[in-house]
Amino acid sequence: MTPRPASGASGGARRESRASSTHPWKAVFANGHGTFECEDEIAGRNVVVRFEWLLAKPEEPQWQQSFSYDGGDRWKLNREMRFTRAK
C-alpha cells in the first residue's frame, strides 16, 4: 500500500509518496535525532531522500520525510507524522 500525502503536504507524482529505496542509506543518531539519507531517482530526477526521527519529547516522537533536488542544499518537507501512546 502506498501512503498518501498528509493534509498540506506536497502530493506530486504517485512515485514521490513511496517510503523505500534500493540504494544504500546513511544513518546518524545524536541527541534524540535520527537522520537517514540516500540518493535516489524519482520520475527521472535525481533526489536525496531524508527521513528523520525527532525525539524532543520522547513521549511524542515525530517522523518526517524531505526531498532535495539540488544535492542537499535545500530540503522540501513533504510528510510528517506525530505519535502518541494509545491509552
Q: pTM to 2 decimals?
A: 0.68
The model's confidence at residue 63, banded by pLDDT at 50, 70 and 90, is very high
Question: CA–CA distance from 27 to each of 14, 52, 73 (Å)?
Answer: 26, 9, 18
Phi-psi region of 71 (alpha: psi -120 to 50; beta: other; left: phi over 0): left
**Cell numbers 502518541 correspond to what residue?**
84
pLDDT above 50 for 60 = yes
Residues in contact with 83: Cβ distance below 8 Å, sequence separation at least 6, in sequence order: 60, 61, 62, 63
**Cell matching residue 65:** 520525510
Q: Each residue of 3-57: pLDDT tens digit?
A: 333 333 343 333 344 445 677 889 999 988 999 999 999 899 999 999 999 998 8
Output the pLDDT for position 75: 96
